[in-house]
């Protein structure tokens, strides 16, 4: 799961590749590497760890050559060492790969019997050795690569260069995206349009099974059967300018402070200011005809979808199913007619969610994506897109994209409800008014730094933390626990508050803080009873509520964060900001790598 890039350039390729890899680092930062062609020979430079290590190595000694490939890695097969860093290859061929070659063990055994010598533990090297073996048998690079693709099982985006062919790159796609960029007498390959953005706006996307032969003059495309095909060159609108921290310590801190603007911008697109009615432009099907919704996402996006399910059931009064994408695909649920598939993703490149997209399309189910990256694979391949206007999100832990997803899903529920006649105009206006109040309330939450600091000081010393919530706020308990795990490395679990007494309550003692997401509303009293049960067993309650709820729980809470009072319908959006801020502050206190936490990648492009 990685980012790949290729360049046939007019000047030194390595700095161009390095720049593109910086834009792809969201796909992994376990190691990085570049291979170029220097006087017809393949030269390679690799470094363990973040891209900065490779950049430092290149700054010490430059890598010549105007044609080359590069890679930033999230390790799957083989430890994140320099030895396992891409590019992989031999003196004849060098390859970078995003994906997983599932039949690598059989191929490796076969190739070793044929005398190919492996130097890494990766699945990728089998592709390089297979192409090399074909070259050894006298095939041309195009024949060698074309023959190799037919042997691969799994998912791949590949780019490769060949010794003695200084102006040739071959790329291939199956289950992982690859784009071809057209420059001025220069050509590029990249995992996405962002990688290519400052280099060119003219981009063609491969389809699954395609492979491409790229020279300085252009690119030829072939399908899985080897027939030459045409792939449209589009004008990309992705901006390639670097995103800075704007004076904040971390991207995550900056992105947290963008919550009010992002929620406001998203609402601006979705709510008509005059009528207070939700606008759902270009849905994949007539909202009045939607009889069921099937929501799919991964990680935080799944939690946003979980809140979305609650809203859709509440106001649109239709059944809503929900799955994590990795389960959905293999559970292979029968899709009833009248179902709208709703995919939720920040990146639009998450492999499991893309597999769900394929499944839904195969089942003939219309697909709506709630996606942040406009030209992502998911956005391009869905029937309809409701874009979250969160802007680039750089920190691995999602913050503003999550609340933008919540905002879009809340609006989607209102739009379907109105179309189906389960939500009347007056109530819709009330709920959109409540949504429009969120940006200002969000700004107040961000200002409460003193409380956030106190809560963070309690949590930073904990080994385990429980998060509790009910209804749509259960999704926020899950979000809080996920954030604490991913950036603070603290074990945290979330439970629907009423479920705690069925087992997890056994965990509660004085050392386990319990964070309660408890806004006033119809579920408050029930949640409060569950919190009493936890307090009675010594639980250290940290209560997140509004003034009224906080007053009721102050006696049993060791810490209280008072949030602005909002309509319970929109509370999840506001409380998400609080749990994210708390996790951020814990991470700062613990001194973790906030923006690029260990073992993670921003976009998970393998199954
Ligand atoms: C959230 O903080 C995580 N980094 C992660 O769970 C993320 O939400 C998940 O991988 C889904 O990514 P996507 O939204 O890009 O599809």
The alpha carbon of 596 and the centre of ligand 1 are apart by a number of angstroms equal to: 13
The alpha carbon of 392 and the centre of ligand 1 are apart by a number of angstroms equal to: 14
pLDDT of residue 275: 86
Q: How many CB atoms lie within 10 A of CB 206?
A: 25
pLDDT of residue 276: 86
Q: What percent of the chain is predicted at pLDDT more than 70?
A: 99
Residue 240 has pLDDT above 70, yes or no: no
Q: Decide the pairing of beta strands 464-469 and 491-496.
A: parallel
Structure token pair of residue 581: 């801020």
| Cβ pair 193, 116 in contact under 8 A | no
299 lines ligand 1 (CB under 6 A): yes
pLDDT, mean over the chain: 95
pLDDT of residue 238: 77
Residue 287 has pLDDT above 80, yes or no: yes
Q: What's the pLDDT tens digit per position in 389-429?
A: 998 899 999 999 999 999 999 999 999 999 999 999 999 99
pLDDT of residue 339: 97
Distances (CA, A) of 161 to 100, 126, 150: 20, 16, 19
557 lines ligand 1 (CB under 6 A): no
Residue 430 has pLDDT above 80, yes or no: yes
Alpha helices by DSSP H, listed for 87-191, are 104-113, 124-136, 141-149
Q: By alpha-carbon position, which residue is closest to atom 10 of ligand 1?
A: 299
Ligand 1, residues 74, 192, 298, 403: which to mutate, most atoms within 8 A of Cβ? 298
Q: What percent of the chain is predicted at pLDDT more than 90?
A: 90
Residue 533 has pLDDT above 70, yes or no: yes
Average pLDDT of the segment spanning 102-124: 96
| Beta-bridge mates of residue 202 | 182, 235
Residue 54 has pLDDT above 90, yes or no: yes
**Which residue is it, tokens 């939607």?**
290
Give the DSSP per-residue string, 291-308: -EEEEEE-HHHHHHHHHH
Q: What's the pLDDT tens digit per position in 167-212?
A: 999 999 998 899 999 999 999 999 988 899 899 999 999 999 999 9
Q: What's the pLDDT tens digit per position in 292-308?
A: 999 999 999 999 999 99
Q: What residues act catalytically?
A: 2, 602
The alpha carbon of 449 and the centre of ligand 1 are apart by a number of angstroms equal to: 26
Here the contacts of 586-590 (C-beta below 8 Å, separation 24 or greater) are 586/456, 586/459, 586/460, 586/484, 586/487, 586/488, 586/490, 587/252, 587/487, 587/488, 588/249, 588/250, 588/456, 589/456, 589/457, 589/460, 590/460, 590/488, 590/489
pLDDT of residue 435: 96
603 lines ligand 1 (CB under 6 A): yes
396 lines ligand 1 (CB under 6 A): yes
The alpha carbon of 347 and the centre of ligand 1 are apart by a number of angstroms equal to: 8
Question: Quick one: pLDDT band at residue 284, thresholds 50, 70, 90?
Answer: confident
With 0-12 / 13-18 / 19 or more C-beta atoms within 10 angstroms meaning exposed / middle / buried, residue 330 is exposed
**Which residue is it, tokens 């790949």?**
4
Which atom of ligand 1 approaches the CA of 482 most closely? Answer: 2
pLDDT of residue 241: 62
345 lines ligand 1 (CB under 6 A): yes
Q: What's the pLDDT tens digit per position in 327-366?
A: 998 999 999 999 999 999 999 999 999 999 999 999 999 9
Q: How many CB atoms lie within 10 A of CB 71?
A: 32
For CA atoms 311, 313, 318, 324, the dihedral sign is positive
488 lines ligand 1 (CB under 6 A): no
Which helix (H) or strand (E) segment is 170 a member of? strand 165-174
């Amino acid at each position: 799961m990685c980012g790949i890039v290729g360049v046939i350039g007019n000047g030194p390729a390595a700095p161009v590749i390095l720049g593109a890899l910086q834009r792809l680092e969201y796909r992994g930062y376990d190691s990085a590497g570049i291979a170029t062609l220097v006087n017809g020979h393949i030269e390679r430079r690799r470094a363990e760890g973040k891209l900065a290590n490779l950049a430092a190595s290149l700054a010490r000694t430059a890598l010549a050559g105007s044609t080359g490939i590069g890679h930033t890695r999230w390790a799957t097969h083989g430890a994140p060492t320099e030895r396992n860093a891409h590019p992989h290859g031999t003196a004849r061929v060098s390859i970078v790969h995003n994906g997983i070659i599932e039949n690598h063990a059989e191929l490796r055994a076969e190739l070793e019997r044929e005398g190919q010598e492996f130097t890494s533990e990766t699945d990728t090297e089998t592709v390089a050795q297979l192409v090399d073996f074909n070259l050894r048998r006298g095939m041309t690079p195009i024949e060698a690569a074309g023959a190799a693709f037919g042997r691969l099982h799994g998912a791949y985006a590949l780019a490769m260069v060949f010794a003695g062919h200084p102006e040739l790159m071959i790329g291939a796609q199956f289950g992982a995206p690859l784009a071809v960029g057209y420059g001025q007498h220069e050509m590029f390959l990249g995992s996405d349009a962002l990688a290519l953005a400052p280099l060119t706006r003219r981009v063609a996307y491969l389809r699954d099974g395609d492979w491409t032969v790229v020279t300085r003059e252009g690119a030829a495309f072939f399908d899985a059967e080897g027939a030459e095909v045409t792939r449209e060159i589009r004008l990309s609108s992705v901006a390639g300018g670097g995103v800075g921290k704007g004076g904040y310590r971390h991207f995550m801190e900056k992105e947290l402070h963008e919550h009010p603007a992002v929620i406001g911008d998203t609402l601006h697109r979705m709510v008509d200011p005059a009528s207070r009615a939700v606008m759902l432009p270009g849905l994949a099907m007539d909202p009045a005809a939607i009889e069921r919704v099937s929501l799919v996402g991964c990680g935080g996006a799944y939690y946003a979808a979980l809140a979305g399910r609650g809203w859709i059931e509440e106001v649109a009064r239709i059944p809503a199913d929900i799955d994590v994408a990795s389960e959905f695909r293999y559970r292979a649920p029968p899709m009833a007619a009248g179902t709208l598939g709703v995919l939720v993703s920040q990146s639009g490149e998450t492999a499991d969610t893309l597999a769900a997209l394929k499944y839904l399309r195969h089942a003939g189910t219309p697909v709506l994506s709630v996606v942040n990256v406009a030209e992502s694979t998911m956005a391009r391949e869905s029937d309809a897109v409701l874009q979250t206007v969160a802007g680039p999100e750089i920190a691995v832990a999602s913050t503003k994209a999550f609340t933008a997803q919540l905002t879009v899903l809340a609006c989607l529920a209102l739009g379907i409800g109105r179309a189906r006649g389960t939500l009347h105009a007056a109530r819709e206006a009330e709920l959109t008014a409540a949504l429009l109040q969120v940006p200002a309330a969000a700004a107040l939450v961000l200002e409460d730094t003193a409380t956030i600091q106190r809560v963070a000081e309690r949590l930073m010393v904990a080994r385990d933390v429980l998060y509790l919530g009910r209804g749509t706020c259960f999704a926020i308990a899950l979000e809080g626990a996920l954030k604490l795990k991913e950036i603070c490395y603290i074990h945290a679990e979330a439970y629907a508050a009423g479920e705690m007494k069925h087992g997890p309550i056994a965990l509660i003692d004085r050392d386990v803080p319990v964070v309660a997401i408890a806004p006033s509303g119809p579920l408050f009293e029930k949640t409060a009873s569950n919190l009493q049960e936890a307090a009675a067993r010594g639980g250290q309650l940290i209560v997140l509520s509004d003034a009224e709820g906080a007053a009721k729980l102050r006696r049993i809470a060791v810490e209280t964060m008072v949030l602005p009072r909002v309509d319970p319908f929109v509370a999840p959006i506001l409380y998400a900001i609080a749990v994210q801020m708390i996790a951020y502050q814990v991470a700062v206190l613990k001194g973790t790598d906030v923006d690029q936490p260990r073992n993670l990648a921003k976009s998970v492009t393998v199954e």
